[in-house]
Structure 1
Amino acid sequence: MSAYLRLRAVPPPALRNSATWLERQFEEGGEAVRHHEEVLDERYLDQERLYAGAHPQRAENRPHTQVVLGGRPVFRRDRHRPRLLVLTSAQARRVAGFLSAADFETLWNAVRDDLLPRYGGTPAEPETWAAFAAAHQELRAFYAQTAACGDAVVKRLPADARPTG
């Protein structure tokens, strides 16, 4: 099982509430997928930490909680299969707005002390910072393009993925 988180944009009219249909969207040539996708490596749970502590301008929006692990779950019978989540196009637009306004340095500084020990400590900070900053930029670009197309987002997480607190 891959430790990667995959996000794909899907036009809202094509979206189905079926785990089987959603899973097919991650196969090569998925029928409804736009030609944009984002893949986060095994650090995606730590990437989630960047956004978990962020404070949006309006609490009811909560786009900061939807960037990585957020979305409506689509349940499967087999718990060992990858977990699936869906963000509506409206939610994807809010996430895009949050990311376009988010200051990476502020997000990083809030979690720096928690993350650095897992990646080699202070000596490895330049490389660790760069990896997380690059993923942040990739997510920002993915959601901006998704919002511009008016698409929803389908996410496939490893079966054992759990949100961090």
Structure 2
Amino acid sequence: MYFHLRAVPPSALRNSATWFQRLFEDDWDTVRERIGRHREEVLDKLYGDVELLYCGIPPNHALEGPRTQVVLGGRPVFHSDPALPPFMLLTASQVTGVAEFLRTADFDDLWRHTRVHLLRPYSVPDAEPAARGLFAATHRDLTAFYAQSAEYGDAVVKWLMI
């Protein structure tokens, strides 16, 4: 299970669950190539923890806006199979807001506010440097992905791949 984000020019978007499904059917080599060009991003099964990095610890969620759109945010487009999660769509304008938020976000501040919660799954006392490094790398990757998408004027489509 992983969370998949893909940049799409607004003119190419179709309002069809079938079309959205096809967006995510490429082979892994093709996906890796687009990731290398910051046209696509993939978050592993810990995507929920990355969401907490930006939105805060429940019940202290961030107000609606760019913080809440980084990982899970967007308008739902329901899959044709109701058993599958919906696709999430961020408009080009929302992508620009997310890119600006990430560009100005202080990772150290984000980490400081969530570190206790994010370190909870690790039972080893010296796990913080590795965990912090993982979240910092993910933050850099998401920042680059959204910056590139905003620069191109793209929308972003997201989907939880099961």
One fold, TM greater than 0.5?
Answer: yes
Mark the runs of 5 or more structure 2 residues left unpaired by the alignment: none
Hey, what's the Cα distance between the residues in 2 that align with 1:97 and 1:157?
A: 24
User: Which residue is 1:73 aligned to?
Assistant: 76
- Which amino acid is the alignment partner of residue 73 of structure 1? P
Aligned length: 152
Q: Does the CA-based 8 Å contact 1:116-1:122 persist in structure 2?
A: no
Q: Does the CA-based 8 Å contact 2:50-2:135 persist in structure 1?
A: yes
Hey, what's the Cα distance between the residues in 1 that align with 2:2 and 2:68?
A: 19
Is residue 17 from structure 1 mapped to residue 24 from structure 2 by the alignment? no
Hey, what's the Cα distance between the residues in 2 that align with 1:96 and 1:14?
A: 21
Call closer, same or farther: CA 1:121–1:98 in 2, change over 3 Å. farther
Counting aligned pairs with the same residue, the percent is 54
Q: 2:118 aligns with which of 104, 115, 118?
A: 115
TM-score relative to the length of structure 2? 0.85
Alignment map for 1:75-94 (pairs within 5 Å)? 75-94=78-97
Hey, what's the Cα distance between the residues in 1 that align with 2:15 and 2:125?
A: 45
TM-score relative to the length of structure 1? 0.83
User: Which residue is 1:49 aligned to?
Assistant: 52
Mark the runs of 5 or more structure 1 residues left unpaired by the alignment: 160-165
- Which amino acid is the alignment partner of residue 110 of structure 1? H
RMSD: 2.4
**Structure 1, residues 93-131: CA drift from partner, whole Å, max 9, x if none?**
000000000000100111111111112354200000000
Q: Does the CA-based 8 Å contact 2:18-2:80 persist in structure 1?
A: no
